[in-house]
């Protein structure tokens, strides 16, 4: 009895303090938003920059207070959406998809295979897709294609990001691709098209270059 009363109180508390949080995600290069026709350092022209941000969780005093249902957001260079959450002081999310959705068959919304983020010949989501031209690339016409994915050990590419978020009006997430692009092996690995050690290495570099700003 007492417990359910407490439960009710908690629920009311949650409802009263629920708020809409605007999440903005951007692909950046050394802190600057990447625009449509940008040329990045080294003469790199990024034609495609797409990635999944998934599994949003919110914490307060170290305890999870909210977990977004069906939390899969495909960001195409940039993206904005809103989440209704109770008060929080910390957030967590993944760069990339969890292993469960990789083995669950056909899914819709941002996970629909028409989005071009699902490998056709070897099941699994492409967590990050970076395509374009790099003068350093040994590929045909200096092209490159980094399709980073893989959900099975030893080639798991999903990267968990956790960050304090003290202001609670909005969240800006920046994925800085340039520190990673500096470390691409343009001679041998200008095309990464399947789960591999190279995909894991690059995905980790990207994960480490995510910055979260609470505003």
Partner 1 sequence: MPSRFVCLALTAVVLLSAATGDPVVVPVPPGWPAPRYDQARNPLTTAGIALGRRLFYEPLLSRDSTVSCSNCHLSFTAFTHVDHALSHGIADRIGIRNAPALMNLAWSSSFMWDGAVNHLDMQALAPISNHAEMDFDVAGVVERLGNQEKYRKMFEAAFGSDIITGERLLKAVAQFELTLVSANSRYDRVTYGKDTFTMQEKNGYELFKKHCNSCHTEPLFTSCQFENNGLKPDTTLNDRGRAGITGNPADEMKFRVPTLRNIEISYPYMHDGRFKRLKDVLNHYTSGIKDSPTLSPLLKDSIKMDSNEKTDLIAFLLTLTDRDFLFNPDFRPQRDSTN
Residues 20-59 that bind partner 1 (CB under 8 A): none
Please tell me whether residue 8 binds partner 1 under the rule CB under 8 A: no
Where on the phi/psi map is residue 46: left (φ > 0), alpha (ψ -120 to 50), or beta? beta
Scanning the structure block, which residue is given the tokens 């295979």?
113
Which residues lie closer than 8 Å to 196 by C-beta, 6 or more apart? 150, 155
Helix H segments across 58-214? 99-102, 178-181, 197-208
Cα of 182 vs its chain's centroid, Å = 20
DSSP secondary structure letter of residue 34: P
According to CB under 8 A, which one of 123, 135, 169, 215 is a site residue for partner 1? 123
Stretch that binds partner 1, among 13-21, 32-40, 131-139, 156-164 (CB under 8 A): 13-21
CB of 199 to partner 1, least distance (A): 11
| Tokens linked to 165 | 């978020």
Size of site (CB under 8 A) for partner 1: 26
CB 128 within 8 A of CB 96: yes
Residues 129-168 that bind partner 1 (CB under 8 A): 152, 155
Stretch that binds partner 1, among 52-60, 117-125, 169-177, 183-191 (CB under 8 A): 117-125
CB of 114 to partner 1, least distance (A): 4
Stretch that binds partner 1, among 26-34, 49-57, 97-105, 161-169 (CB under 8 A): 97-105
According to CB under 8 A, which one of 83, 107, 133, 193 is a site residue for partner 1? 107
Counts of helices then strands in the chain (DSSP H, E): 4, 13
CB 134 within 8 A of CB 182: no
Residues near partner 1 (CB under 8 A): 14-15, 18, 84, 102-108, 111-116, 118, 120-124, 152, 155, 196
């Amino acid at each position: 009895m007492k417990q359910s009363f407490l439960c009710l109180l908690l629920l009311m508390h949650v409802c009263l303090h629920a708020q809409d949080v605007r999440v903005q995600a951007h692909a950046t290069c050394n802190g600057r938003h990447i625009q449509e026709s940008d040329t990045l350092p080294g003469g790199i022209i990024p034609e495609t920059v797409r990635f999944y941000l998934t599994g949003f969780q919110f914490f307060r005093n170290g305890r999870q207070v909210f977990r977004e249902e069906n939390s899969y957001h495909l960001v195409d260079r940039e993206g904005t959406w809103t989440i209704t959450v109770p008060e929080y002081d910390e957030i967590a999310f993944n760069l990339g998809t969890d292993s469960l959705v990789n083995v669950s068959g056909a899914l819709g919304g941002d996970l629909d295979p028409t989005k071009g983020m699902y490998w056709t010949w070897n099941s699994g989501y492409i967590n990050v897709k970076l395509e374009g031209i790099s003068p350093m690339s040994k590929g045909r016409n200096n092209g490159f294609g980094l399709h980073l994915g893989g959900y099975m050990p030893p080639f798991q590419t999903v990267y968990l990001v956790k960050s304090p978020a003290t202001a609670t009006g909005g969240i800006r997430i920046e994925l800085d691709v340039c520190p990673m692009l500096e470390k691409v092996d343009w001679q041998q690995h200008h095309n990464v098209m399947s789960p591999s050690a190279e995909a894991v290495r690059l995905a980790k570099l990207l994960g480490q270059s995510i910055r979260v700003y609470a505003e």
